[in-house]
Amino acid sequence: MSENERQVRQITPKSEDFSKWYLELVQKAELADYTPMKGMMVIRPHGYAVWENIQRGLDARIKAAGHVNAYFPLFIPEGFLKKEAEHVQGFSPEVAWVTVGGQEDLEERLAVRPTSEAIIGHMYAKWVKSYRDLPVLINQWANIVRWEKVTRPFLRTTEFLWQEGHTCHETAEEGEAETLRILALYKEFCETELAVPVLSGRKSLREKFAGAQMTYAIEALMSDGKALQMGTSHNLGQHFSKAFDIKFEDRNQKLQYVWQTSWGMTTRTIGALIMVHGDDSGLRFPPNVAPTQAVIVPIPSGNWKETVLPAARAAEAALSAAGVRVRLDAREEFTPGWKFSEYEMRGVPLRVEIGPRDVKSGQAVVVRRDTRAKEAVPLPALPARVGGLLAEVQAELFGQARVFLEANIRDAADYAGFKRTLEKERGFVRAPWCGDEACEDRIKTETMATIRVIPLDEAEARPSGPCVCCGREGKAVAYFARAY
């Protein structure tokens, strides 16, 4: 590709067409690409590097909370899936099946895992015999296939990547505590590492995971005002242990079914990073998960290779030694201006410019991606200042997202106001709900909004009045939104 061709890599402004902006950005920042198979994407190196950073941060937290990793098979026999009735019903519209192996028709067809409760339940029945075997705290990093009709890179694809935790406990209380511990872990991870503030709470029964007793979730608000589920934590109760016969001898030598949980976070979170932080110039990655945190761009002029380049190399070495993920781009076939917009598109949090005049005065110019603020930094102070600036960018992105979230939570006084807000302003609408699924259905049909979460905090969940939809007694406050 010539430089001229690459320079016209502008994207549709976000305010003009959000969906187009998103799709163009995914491609132009080289995060993902389409394949000949509908709904299946390639995660390109720049996108995969973000996923690796997400994995690292999440994996460390999951392990610190006492879990270990394992790997279960991709295929699940149909009979296993059928054991939990609600589970098979919930997933059957989107399961891909293997019916032939090599040249032989299979006696029993195999599901390509849409989630792994069934195969893991079967194995746990074999492994768990006594209370001494509990708790079981296993996580796996894997790929998942769900045959989706409408797809969008990172947000909804036929195959995606995730982690799924599957635990067994002695008591209902321990199962519930684990479910909530993971919900809190997910929230902390999103806010600390992804700089994405979330609402957390429980789902309505209509929105829960098929086979779960109760589903909890964290929900973020994208900058077009639509919600995105960032992670879910399910209290499975004894639904699967009864279906798969996972029994243990308790402390009184009595046979009991275990209490289970499952929980997951996926490559969707990359979609959230794009939609929460991105702008008209491209991505704005939070430094904690940015593949490259700082890019050094030497300004070529005069005998720059003898003056600027050595200074740039020294800066690269110093930043790298300080633990900064840094890249020096000394390519001569691209102009500094081209590089500036290229790294803005790719979301690199800091740009370090070093030109002949900077070398003379022993400094570099550091430019922030988030605010575009520039400052001259003496070269010896560069590692410390870059470290400080990365922390500032991380905090600024979270702060901006939190202001946006808070400004887009609105209370609805009545159903007309509720509908008007969802139509005109979107965001989350907080409203009392009677607990009846008929109201949820009506709201979804008429406004395309669903209950995203019901707050766990009792005071926060206490309804301020009658159900916004039917006018009967309100049972809880719910956050409604249109969602991806």
Q: Which stretch binds Zn ion (CB under 5 A): 164-172, 205-213, 285-293, 431-439?
A: 431-439
Count of residues interacting with Zn ion (CB under 5 A): 6
Instruction: Retrieve residue 101's tokens.
Output: 């192996």
**Smallest gap, in angstroms, from Cβ of residue 227 to Zn ion?**
21
**One residue of 467, 476, 477, 481 binding Zn ion per CB under 5 A:** 467
**Smallest gap, in angstroms, from Cβ of residue 86 to Zn ion?**
24
**Smallest gap, in angstroms, from Cβ of residue 5 to Zn ion?**
57
**One residue of 11, 469, 476, 478 binding Zn ion per CB under 5 A:** 469
Any residues with CB less than 8 A from the CB of 49 and at least 6 apart, and which? 291
Calpha distance 259→166 (Å, rounded): 11
Q: Which stretch binds Zn ion (CB under 5 A): 93-101, 304-312, 379-387, 434-442?
A: 434-442
Q: Which stretch binds Zn ion (CB under 5 A): 36-44, 215-223, 424-432, 470-478?
A: 470-478
295 makes contact with Zn ion (CB under 5 A): no
Q: Which stretch binds Zn ion (CB under 5 A): 164-172, 201-209, 279-287, 466-474?
A: 466-474
**One residue of 214, 470, 475, 483 binding Zn ion per CB under 5 A:** 470
User: Cis (ω within 30 of 0) for the bond into 135?
Assistant: yes
* CA distances from residue 247 to 8, 128, 154, 202, 344 in whole angstroms, order as listed: 63, 7, 38, 28, 55
Instruction: Retrieve residue 19's tokens.
Output: 């969906």
Calpha distance 24→13 (Å, rounded): 10
Q: Which stretch binds Zn ion (CB under 5 A): 48-56, 182-190, 418-426, 462-470?
A: 462-470
Any residues with CB less than 8 A from the CB of 78 and at least 6 apart, and which? 97, 108, 109, 110, 111
Sign of the dihedral defined by the CA atoms of residues 419, 459, 436, 94, in that order: positive
The per-residue b/e assignment along 110-141, b for 16 or more CB within 10 angstroms, e otherwise, is bbbbbbbbbbbbbbbbeebeebeebbbbbbbe
Q: Which stretch binds Zn ion (CB under 5 A): 15-23, 35-43, 279-287, 428-436?
A: 428-436
CB closer to Zn ion, 287 vs 463: 463
CB closer to Zn ion, 350 vs 439: 439
**Smallest gap, in angstroms, from Cβ of residue 67 to Zn ion?**
40
CB closer to Zn ion, 136 vs 467: 467
**Smallest gap, in angstroms, from Cβ of residue 414 to Zn ion?**
13
**Smallest gap, in angstroms, from Cβ of residue 424 to Zn ion?**
23
Calpha distance 318→181 (Å, rounded): 39
439 makes contact with Zn ion (CB under 5 A): yes
Calpha distance 113→215 (Å, rounded): 20
431 makes contact with Zn ion (CB under 5 A): no
Q: Of 313, 305, 318, nearest to 356 (Cα)?
A: 305
Q: Of 461, 431, 444, nearest to 206 (Cα)?
A: 444
In the window 110-129, what residues touch Zn ion (CB under 5 A)? none
| Number of Cβ atoms within 10 Å of the Cβ of 424 | 8
CB closer to Zn ion, 201 vs 474: 474
Q: Which stretch binds Zn ion (CB under 5 A): 345-353, 367-375, 427-435, 443-451?
A: 427-435
**Smallest gap, in angstroms, from Cβ of residue 416 to Zn ion?**
15
- Burial (CB < 10 A; 0-12, 13-18, 19+), residue 107, is exposed
**Smallest gap, in angstroms, from Cβ of residue 478 to Zn ion?**
10
434 makes contact with Zn ion (CB under 5 A): yes
Binding site for Zn ion (CB under 5 A): 434, 436, 439, 467, 469-470
